[in-house]
């Protein structure tokens, strides 16, 4: 850190706490700094954040997967523009250091947002000055095209492409847009403050300049799943509770079986401790849904709208009884979303869903461009996504209200320790 007044408390990543700077401004220790008045004014508009707002990043797995789902997301896919392996590794190192700083609520770089040279662009873009860490996590993954493209292997990664990192087949009803699909790298930033998530992606994009460029990005404004039993179940834009039967961080045996890669060997050993992220931008025909009677909506989902209980009875977390008959057949219809997605109809398959609601304005015909940015973490997309999506696309009445407009599959490498970097096992293992 250069030219920084009284950075306290000291930060492991060498950055300056965005909020401690604010506190210093408020007590006058920063009074001579040019921006102090501005900081103080800004501070008065924000509540102090609890220490629990910092999610630890180091460990066996990357953060942002079993982390209790935050309220906001900004996800971006990048195309790598450099051909140089060392430059790619340097980018991952630079990203890792920046992520460590931002997750602690610090500005990035030596000079942060305002203490660098006056005649150079600031290293930190600055829109998170005064904001708390907000439980920011940034999760990085690798697309199939990072390993090989039409010209053959890239970055010396021949023999390292995991078999599970597939290109998804075409599913009935897909209307995928090239500009919303694929990518060499993915960056999933989640936080409880939307500006903190956007700040993270924007700074990583700035750092990537000359080495990688954004291919597509998506903002999600409300979580559509819970990933911890301590969380309440949120609602998707169809108004239903979403995430009730999701895998939770407490389900360690299921996570081991259905989410985390283990026992991989040879050229795939680098994925041990990692997982696969499947992303689908799913637009809802929301105006049509809003004209659908309540009873029909509940039949399509297989749960009640108010409580989320299965139509076979009980409360939200009661297991559905698919055998229980009503006047016209099973109370939870076989063609309902819950029946078709249930593990008992999918070879026992489970997934960790971590999607978000999105709206991207209207489409010129007065219809909302809104839906669910579906994200699932699975041990293998071939067994844990493709068969289920095939069944949903074919038989799910819900799919008549949906259109998949974007898609991506990414290998999420394992976690990292102090001094390490995300993806190290791929390049140095
Ligand atoms: C291929 C996987 C899935 C896609 C795509 C998908 C899209 C999708 N889902 C909803 C709404 C709900 N989904 C619910 C449950 C549920 N969904 C999937 C998988 C996909 N959903 C699974 C595995 C499950 C759990 C099934 C079970 O074990 O019971 C529910 C019920 C509440 C819950 O358990 O989360 C809702 C509601 C939408 C709107 C949507 C696409 C836009
Ligand atoms: Fe679903």
DSSP-derived 3-state class of residue 217: strand
Per DSSP, 102 falls in state H
Retrieve residue 208's tokens.
């990537």
DSSP-derived 3-state class of residue 151: coil
DSSP-derived 3-state class of residue 216: strand
Mean pLDDT of 84-100: 98
CA of 240, closest atom in ligand 1: 37
pLDDT for residue 188 is more than 50: yes
Nearest-angstrom CA–CA distance, 374 and 108: 30
CA of 282, closest atom in ligand 1: 42
Rounded to 5°, angle at Cα 410 from 409 and 411? 135
pLDDT confidence tier of residue 333, bands split at 50, 70 and 90: very high
pLDDT for residue 70 is more than 90: yes
Shortest-distance Cα residue to atom 17 of ligand 1: 341
Between the CA of 301 and the centroid of ligand 2 the distance, in Å, is 8
Q: What is the pLDDT of residue 295?
A: 98
pLDDT for residue 25 is more than 50: no
Retrieve residue 356's tokens.
């978000």
Ligand 1 pocket by C-beta < 6 Å: which residues?
236, 238, 240-246, 280, 282, 284, 301, 303, 337-338, 341-343, 351, 371-372, 374, 385, 388-389, 392, 402
> What pTM was computed for the model?
0.91
Percentage of the chain lying above the pLDDT 70 cut: 88
For tokens 């992220």, name the residue.
Answer: 277
Shortest-distance Cα residue to atom 18 of ligand 1: 341
Q: Report yes or no on 21 lying in a domain.
A: yes
Please give the backbone phi and psi of residue 327, each rounded to the nearest 5 degrees, phi first.
Answer: -65, -40
Mean pLDDT of 87-94: 98
Mean pLDDT of 316-334: 97
Between the CA of 342 and the centroid of ligand 2 the distance, in Å, is 9
pLDDT confidence tier of residue 387, bands split at 50, 70 and 90: very high
Which secondary-structure segment (H or E) carries 275?
strand 275-284
Ligand 1 pocket mutation, candidates 307, 337, 374, criterion most atoms within 8 A of CB? 337
Q: Report yes or no on 132 lying in a domain.
A: no
Q: Report yes or no on 244 lying in a domain.
A: no
Q: Report yes or no on 44 lying in a domain.
A: yes
34-43, 47-56, 252-261: segment of lowest average pLDDT: 34-43
Shortest-distance Cα residue to atom 12 of ligand 1: 242
Mean pLDDT of 401-409: 98
Q: What is the pLDDT of residue 429?
A: 77
Between the CA of 230 and the centroid of ligand 1 the distance, in Å, is 20
Residue among 97, 99, 98, 109 nearest 63 (CA) = 99
Between the CA of 349 and the centroid of ligand 1 the distance, in Å, is 13
Helix axes 36-43, 18-27, angle to 10 degrees: 100
Average of per-residue pLDDT values in the chain? 91
Q: Are 93 and 233 in contact (CB under 8 A)?
A: no
Pick the ligand that lies closest to the CA of residue 301.
1
pLDDT confidence tier of residue 18, bands split at 50, 70 and 90: confident
pLDDT for residue 396 is more than 50: yes
Greater pLDDT, 34 or 407: 407
Q: What is the pLDDT of residue 20?
A: 57
pLDDT confidence tier of residue 50, bands split at 50, 70 and 90: low
Question: Which distant-in-sequence residues (6+ apart) come within 8 Å of 125 by Cβ?
Answer: 113, 199, 202, 203, 206
pLDDT for residue 38 is more than 90: no
Which range of residues forms the domain containing residue 30?
A: 1-48
pLDDT for residue 414 is more than 60: yes
Pick the ligand that lies closest to the CA of residue 375.
1
Q: What is the pLDDT of residue 34?
A: 32
Length of the chain (residues) = 429
Q: Report yes or no on 34 lying in a domain.
A: yes
Q: Report yes or no on 257 lying in a domain.
A: no
Q: Report yes or no on 43 lying in a domain.
A: yes
For tokens 């995300």, name the residue.
Answer: 422
Q: Report yes or no on 234 lying in a domain.
A: no
Mean pLDDT of 37-53: 43
pLDDT for residue 159 is more than 60: yes
Pick the ligand that lies closest to the CA of residue 244.
1
For tokens 């009935």, name the residue.
Answer: 172
pLDDT for residue 226 is more than 80: yes
Q: Are 201 and 85 in contact (CB under 8 A)?
A: no
Q: What is the pLDDT of residue 32?
A: 33
Retrieve residue 215's tokens.
């291919």
Residues facing 362 on adjacent strands: 368
Between the CA of 337 and the centroid of ligand 2 the distance, in Å, is 7
Pick the ligand that lies closest to the CA of residue 308.
1
pLDDT one-digit tens code per residue, 337-378: 999 999 999 999 999 999 999 999 999 999 999 999 999 999
Number of domains the chain is built from: 1
Retrieve residue 31's tokens.
């009074």
């Amino acid at each position: 850190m250069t030219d920084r007044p009284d950075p306290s408390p000291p930060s492991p990543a060498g950055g300056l706490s965005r909020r401690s700077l604010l506190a210093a401004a408020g007590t006058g220790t920063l009074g001579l700094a040019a921006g102090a008045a501005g900081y103080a004014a800004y501070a008065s508009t924000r509540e102090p954040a609890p220490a629990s707002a910092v999610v630890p990043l180091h460990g066996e797995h990357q953060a942002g997967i079993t982390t209790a789902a935050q309220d906001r997301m900004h996800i971006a896919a990048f195309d790598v523009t450099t051909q140089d392996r060392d430059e790619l590794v340097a980018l991952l190192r630079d990203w890792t250091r920046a992520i460590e700083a931002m997750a602690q609520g610090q500005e990035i770089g030596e000079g942060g947002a305002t203490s660098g040279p006056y005649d150079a662009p600031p290293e930190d873009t600055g829109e998170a000055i005064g904001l708390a860490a907000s439980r920011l996590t940034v999760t990085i993954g690798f697309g199939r095209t990072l390993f090989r493209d039409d010209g053959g292997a890239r970055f010396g990664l021949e023999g390292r492409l995991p078999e599970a990192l597939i290109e998804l087949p075409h599913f009935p009803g897909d209307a995928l847009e090239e500009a919303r699909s694929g990518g060499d790298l993915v960056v999933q930033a989640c936080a409880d403050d939307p500006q903190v998530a956007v700040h993270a992606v924007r700074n990583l994009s700035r750092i990537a300049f000359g080495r990688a460029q954004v291919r597509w990005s998506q903002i999600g404004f409300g979580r559509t799943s819970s990933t911890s039993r301590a969380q309440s179940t949120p609602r998707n834009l169809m108004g239903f509770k979403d995430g009730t039967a999701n895998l939770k961080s407490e389900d360690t045996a299921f996570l081991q079986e259905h989410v985390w890669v283990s026992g991989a060997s040879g050229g795939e050993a680098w994925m041990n401790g990692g997982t696969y992220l499947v992303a689908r931008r799913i637009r809802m025909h929301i105006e049509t849904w809003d004209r659908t009677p309540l009873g029909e909506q509940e039949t399509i989902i297989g749960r009640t709208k108010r409580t989320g209980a299965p139509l076979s009875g009980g409360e939200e977390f009661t297991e559905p009884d698919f055998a229980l008959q009503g006047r016209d057949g099973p109370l939870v219809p076989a063609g309902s979303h819950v029946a078709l997605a249930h593990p008992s109809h999918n070879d026992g398959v489970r997934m960790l869903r971590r999607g978000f609601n999105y709206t991207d304005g209207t489409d010129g015909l007065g219809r909302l461009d809104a839906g669910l940015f579906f994200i699932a973490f699975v041990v293998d997309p071939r067994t844990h996504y493709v068969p289920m999506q095939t069944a949903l696309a074919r038989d799910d009445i819900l799919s008549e209200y949906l259109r998949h407009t974007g898609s991506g599959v990414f290998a999420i490498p394992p976690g990292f320790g102090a001094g390490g970097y995300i993806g190290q096992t791929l390049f140095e293992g």
